[in-house]
Amino acid sequence: MRLVHVVGARPNLMKLAPVYRAFAAVPDIEQSVVHTGQHYDLNMSDVFFQQLGLNSPDVNLHVGSASHAKQVAEIMVRFEKVLSDTRPDLVLVYGDVNSTIAAALVCSKMRIRLGHVEAGLRSFDRSMPEEINRLLTDQIADFLFTPSEDANQNLAREGAPAEVINLVGNVMIDSLVRMLPACQMHLPPNLPSHFALVTLHRPSNVDDLPWLDEMLQSLAQIAARLPILFPVHPRTKERMIGLRDGWPSALRLMEPLPYLAFLALEQQATVVITDSGGIQEETTYLGVPCLTIRENTERPITVKIGTNILVGRDQKRIRDQVEQIISGIRKKGKIPPLWDGHAAERIVEVIHRLV
């Protein structure tokens, strides 16, 4: 069987790695990786390939940053040629980025079977580009691989046939489980004994400059009580220019980090403050309190049984929640079912049985 994996952003790489590895152990599987180049710089992609034990991608489409429409269109045009040349039996796409829906549309037009890894997640907020990507990809895909039971319920409610829905667990946790023993060797130097870890990157947050300015002031206030490590996403860094010149020393702005260093910080953090999707899952597995700066989440299981709390964009609520965690009041969570490090193996079993 000829299999093509499509990735476009670094969260995709953590999902790809265990699946690629699991298929590599199966005879008669010829697999290749297409990187669309949707996100591409050393810390955002290359180092992730190295640390996750992946070879460089077989094909890089070098699409780069652009508007949503232009990016999707460019990926479709370039990926169509790849499929015309390779004619795979199956394409696997991951997550909810523009690369995911672009590749899915091309597969649908060319009548090539498609599997969606991390299917069924819903925020029910159609103002999010990722939500549209998730909805449309799941309508197109021939195989839907879900991380949790709520995702199955979403797909069933939308009319997906039961035979295409496969609850396999969370492949991102597969990578975490495998890499966790090695991550402590990658801790950045001179860490405080207790700290908050912050990530911000969503356009709905960082493109709102008055809110971003207020958020940075809130972080400066929190840093007076609990030191903060803040790896700054390139988009956020650009938006921060001119907002403020100086920061307290306890608010440590950092370059984006490779996977192992960031994972080590997550494990050590007193609290993680984020607007990311995957970090909600990682902190739930690690048992670390997570405050998600969004009004909704496509990963409600991290709120229902995990360590995640949705705090919205309310600055006072964010500061109050951090204060509670500092004082020892923290949410107790559990690891969701099938988040056990073997999701990729279940994907291989399903495809081996059905393809």
Q: Annotated catalytic sites, by residue?
A: 201
Among the listed residues 135, 116, 117, the one whose alpha carbon sits nearest the alpha carbon of residue 125: 135
Distances, alpha carbon 286 to alpha carbons 37, 264, 269, in Å = 30, 11, 10
199 contacts 279 by C-beta, under 8 angstroms: yes
Quote the Cα angle for 194-197-203, to 5°.
Answer: 165
Among the listed residues 143, 183, 178, 165, the one whose alpha carbon sits nearest the alpha carbon of residue 342: 178
Coil, helix or strand at residue 342: coil
Supply the DSSP symbol for 207. Answer: T
The residues near 272 (Cβ < 8 Å, ≥ 6 apart) are 196, 197, 198, 199, 266, 279, 283, 288, 289, 290, 291
**Bridge partner list, 93:** 6, 116
Token output for 247: 């920061």
